[in-house]
Amino acid sequence: MSFKYYLYVSDAKIDMLLSQIDPGASQKRGTELGVDLKMLKVKRVSEPGAGDRIARLELVVRHLLDHGDVGSVAEPGQFFWGLLPMRWGPFPAETGSSLVFFGGSADGTTVGLGGSVKHVFGSVPDLAEHGIGRSLMPSMLDALGASAELEDEYVADAVDGDFDRADGVALAKVHKAVTSLRGPAQNVEFVAKRLLHGDDPSSGGSVLLGSPIYVALVD
C-alpha cells in the first residue's frame, strides 16, 4: 500500500470546493465522509480528526479530476496537477513569514506555489497577526516583494486598458522568487488552483503561479 506524506493541505479551499460539490458540506464540520462509486455517504462523528481531513481532501481531488478542469504544468486548466522536484519554505525566509512558497520547474515552465503557512502540517501561526491569507494572489505577490514594482504598472494599465505590463512584472517576480529558493529539492505531488500563467519577458520562459489544495512528498 502506498501512503502519501502530506506537507500542505488547504482546509479553506477544501471547505469552499466541497460546499459546491455537496451544498450541505458547510455544516458538516465534525462529519466523516465516505465515498463509493456512485454516491456520497455521510455519517456524524463527534469531532473531525486527521482521517476526516484527508477523506475530505480526497473527495474534492477525486471530483476535480473526474469532473473539473484539471490540466498539467505545461497546459494548466482552472486547476493543475504536477509531480516534480521543488524547493520550499517560508518566504521571505525569516522566522514569522505567513507565506509558504514552493518553487521548481518542469516542461520548460517555472512553477511557483504559495499559500498560508498555517496549512503546513505542524504549523499553527496566529493568522490574525498576519492579516489576509497568502493563498490570494495580491497577498502572495506582496509577500514576494512585487507590490512596489506593480503599483506604477497597474496605474498605467488602468489608463490604457493594457494589462500585459503588470502581468509581466508579476511573472518576472515569481520567476525570481523561485530561483532564489535555497536548500535541497524534494519530489512533491500537488493539485493547485491556477492564479497566473504566461511568458516572462525577463527570462524568456513560461511561468505558472498557483495556490495548492495539497502538496505531498513522493519517494
Given a cut of 90, whether residue 135 has pLDDT beyond it is: no
Given a cut of 60, whether residue 37 has pLDDT beyond it is: no
Q: Which domain holds residue 148?
A: 73-217
- Using CA atoms, how far residue 158 sits from 78, 95, 139, 161, in Å, is 25, 36, 20, 5
Q: Are residues 9 and 61 in the same domain?
A: yes
How confident is residue 136, by pLDDT bands cut at 50, 70 and 90?
A: low
pLDDT average, residue stretch 116-134: 64
Q: Are residues 56 and 120 in the same domain?
A: no
Q: Are residues 50 and 107 in the same domain?
A: no
The total number of structural domains in the chain stands at 2
SS3 120: strand
Q: Are residues 42 and 116 in the same domain?
A: no
pLDDT tens digit string along 58-80?
999 999 999 989 999 999 999 99
The answer to whether the beta carbons of residues 196 and 208 sit under 8 Å apart is yes
Report which of residues 60 and 137 the model is more confident about. Answer: 60
Q: What percent of the chain has pLDDT over 70?
A: 67
pTM, two decimal places: 0.75
Give the separation between CA 147 and CA 139, rounded to whole angstroms: 9
pLDDT at 215: 96
Q: Which of 26-35, 61-70, 116-125, 186-195 has the lowest mean pLDDT?
A: 26-35
Biggest alpha carbon distance in the chain?
A: 57
- Using CA atoms, how far residue 185 sits from 86, 99, 102, 178, 179, in Å, is 5, 18, 10, 12, 12
Q: Are residues 63 and 81 in the same domain?
A: no
The answer to whether the beta carbons of residues 193 and 211 sit under 8 Å apart is yes
Given a cut of 80, whether residue 52 has pLDDT beyond it is: yes
Q: Are residues 118 and 168 in the same domain?
A: yes
pLDDT at 97: 75
